[in-house]
Amino acid sequence: DAGVTQSPTHLIKTRGQHVTLRCSPISGHKSVSWYQQVLGQGPQFIFQYYEKEERGRGNFPDRFSARQFPNYSSELNVNALLLGDSALYLCASSYWQGNQPQHFGDGTRLSIL
């Protein structure tokens, strides 16, 4: 079975631009979460989505937004990019209920010039 897939794998943008990152969850998983991992740190929670609704939001500015589609895939959008947005963006999927852990994709490496 395919794991969590993310696209693109790498992306280079300049300050002020916007970016869209995509995630396809493991088949059968209906919850998707997004994390930002800055170099040298642990991942930081950004959003959780389930059934196309936002179920959790971390401490990130409104420049960050996301959505989930009927097939449970998800997009993370970041507007007005700053140098500090350079990071590895990780998507994780899981079952919504029950004692099931999250499974992560390999991430999208975003570099801001």
Partner 1 sequence: AQSVTQPDIHITVSEGASLELRCNYSYGATPYLFWYVQSPGQGLQLLLKYFSGDTLVQGIKGFEAEFKRSQSSFNLRKPSVHWSDAAEYFCAVVLANAGGTSYGKLTFGQGTILTVHP
Q: What is the footprint of partner 1 within residues 4-23 (CB under 8 A)?
A: 4
The DSSP bridge pattern shows strands 10-13 and 108-112 to be parallel
Q: Which helix (H) or strand (E) holds 50?
A: strand 44-50
Measured between alpha carbons, how far is 112 from 94 in angstroms, rounded to an integer? 30
Considering only the stretches 19-27, 45-53, 62-70, 74-82, report the one whose residues sit in contact with partner 1 under the rule CB under 8 A. Answer: 45-53
Options 11, 55, 67, 73; binder of partner 1; rule CB under 8 A: 55
Beta bridge partners of 112: 13
Q: Which residues bind partner 1 (CB under 8 A)?
A: 4, 31-33, 35, 41-45, 48, 50, 55-56, 58, 90, 92, 94, 96-107, 109
